[in-house]
């Protein structure tokens, strides 16, 4: 089973995929998808949509973990982030992929034991949990992997595997 984690963003979207066999999670892929400020709003959202479609075609995803949006002081940035997140939610729905919404503090607590952990600590623990030789260099990709790991933990806790007969 493959679990996808998505740290949504308008300019940068972080993502990570893990594969779970039994009670062991292993790294599959991770990265950051970026759009340019020189592109129109519609073009940026369309490129994000196309990227997600290709990602879903490349990896049969069982479930996803999507970071919850929290609005900052800059309302314009929050609106753009929400638009990008809307593209992600629609893409997951179209692909038939269920997802869990995960707050940043819940992800940090699941990975490190502390909901107020620093990003570096999350990166180090995510690398350790997935037996990666080197921690992820890009925060957003490491967050994507952490969200994928949390999605797996939530999937187990909800008993979805039993309901589906697996």
Catalytic residues: 7, 67, 140
Q: Vertex 10, ends 75 and 84: CA angle to 5°?
A: 90
Classify 113 as helix, strand or coil: coil
2, 57, 69, 121 from 24: Cα distances, Å = 12, 24, 29, 21
């Amino acid at each position: 089973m493959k679990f996808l984690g998505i740290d949504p963003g308008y300019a940068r979207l972080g993502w990570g995929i893990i594969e779970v066999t039994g009670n062991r999670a292993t790294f599959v892929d991770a990265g950051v998808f970026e759009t340019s400020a020189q592109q129109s709003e519609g073009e940026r959202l369309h490129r994000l949509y196309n990227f997600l479609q290709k990602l879903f075609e490349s990896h049969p995803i069982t479930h996803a973990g999507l970071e919850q949006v929290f609005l900052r002081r800059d309302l314009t940035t929050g609106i753009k982030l929400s638009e990008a997140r809307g593209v992600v939610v629609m893409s997951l729905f179209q692909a038939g992929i269920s997802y869990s919404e995960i707050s940043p503090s819940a992800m940090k607590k699941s990975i490190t034991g502390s909901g107020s952990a620093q990003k570096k600590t999350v990166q180090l623990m995510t690398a350790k949990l997935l037996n990666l030789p080197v921690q992820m260099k890009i925060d957003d990709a490491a967050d994507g992997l952490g969200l994928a790991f949390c999605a797996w933990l939530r999937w187990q806790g909800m008993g979805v595997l039993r309901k589906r007969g697996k």
